[in-house]
Structure 1
Amino acid sequence: MLLELSRISKSFGPVEVLSEVDLSIDAGEVCALVGDNGAGKSTLVKCIAGIHAIDSGTIAVEGDSHEIGSPRDAAALGIEVVYQDLALCDNLDVVENMFLGREKLRGVVLDDDAMEQLAAETLESLAVRTIRNLRQTVASLSGGQRQTVAIAKAVLWNSRLVILDEPTAALGVAQTRQVLELIRRLADQGLAVLYISHNLNDVFAVADRIAALYLGRMAAVLDAADTTQSQVVELITSGRSNGLGITDSNGVQP
């Protein structure tokens, strides 16, 4: 497995947000992380990304355990996160955004030609056809194009795991379809993708497996092809469904 989380727990003061969460994601697959508000999705992502330190448990990348103490540590392991706000600068162009904070230099000046070429090659490798001018400002792009730039920026740096936080939340139907196709292409190119979404139609359209969090605990991880939306909804809302889900210490569902 590319990423293995084992018994991850995290509390903020007296509030336990994550409790012994297990999850594994392999290269070449899309794993959707679903759960109601307050289930712990964002906290789990921030633990993987090095924003929050875990209280207990282990995070392993390709079998080796790592302490991820900062986003820099996560990036060094090939983990990149695209947050819902995208963290793009409207006044900068596509190339400048993709290399923001990681600019290439030629001597003491920016190597604009090299950056533009690498940006174009990355978008080409992802079969992106919706962005034709790499020098247009992000402010002039549609929501779907902005999401595409953010995802391309994440995969530019030899990433192995891309985490996408609600990438289609503010998009229309056509733009959503484009982003979902791009997510599928990431997996087809051998990347592991952790996809967080409230939209189960989108989840079932793109995910190989679905992991359902309930009040900080992992209710179940299911193959998308072998489950239904109603079953996932039950896991999200009650933590159990048809014999699956959270049990007590005696193996009995509450």
Structure 2
Amino acid sequence: MQRKGDSIKPYIKDDSGKEGWDVIKPQLEEAKAGDTVTVAMNGTTVVPKDVIDSIKGKDTTLVLDMGNGLSWKIYGKDITDAAGDIDFDVTVGADAGKSIPVDVINNVTGEHSSLNLTLAYDGEFGFAATLTVNMESKNAGLYANLFYYNEQTEELEFISAGQIDPDGNVELVFTHASDYTIVVDAKIMSDNGQADNKSDETIPAPKTDDSTSKYAWNNTIIIIIGICIILNVFGAVFYVRKKSGSEEE
């Protein structure tokens, strides 16, 4: 939606309706500790480096409402060094993940529902940014597992997971732009794309030379020694009695 002026500009989502980065930046600089400033990107996608730097090291959160159920959250104290002007454009669905081979995706997703996601920016952000994406309310309570496509290994690598809220939204953390796949599952998934089943793992039987066997062997030796001592005692008693009887005769 276009607001004041002839050009499309981002604007602050509050009563002030301040628009354009030249007026948004001072608002961020004046923000108090703990404040959150939400900017409606209004069709724009690029955030200037100096705007990101304006909250660097501060207890201030910048939220970028991209529209279509997508928003970015950047916390000032997470910013180490903004790489430059950053394009936060996000493509989801059939038009995303073009570099990921279909067989690679199918190997991870199996029968689970998934969503491809591509970030327009190329490279590291210089900070961690949290993306809120809608995975539909029917998936509430399930986990959205984020996988990054490594073009060198040609594999999907598990990055993180978040639980989908009642409205279908989930927050996922990104540090760099690339092609991703989000897989919905009842559990948090491991690196190989299979749901964790740690409770079902079989505990291996102890080896014959382990400490348990050694303990049992030691007990056997003690019992044998005890029997020998008892036999010696009985033998001594029998000998004394026999000798005593001989002397009386």
- Pick the structure with greater CA Rg: 2
User: Structures share a fold, TM > 0.5?
Assistant: no
Pick 1 or 2: higher relative contact order, CA cutoff 8 A, min separation 6: 1
Greater strand proportion: 2
Given the two structures, how large is their TM-score scaled by the length of structure 1?
0.24
* TM-score for the superposition, normalised by structure 2: 0.25
Task: Say which structure is richer in helix.
Answer: 1
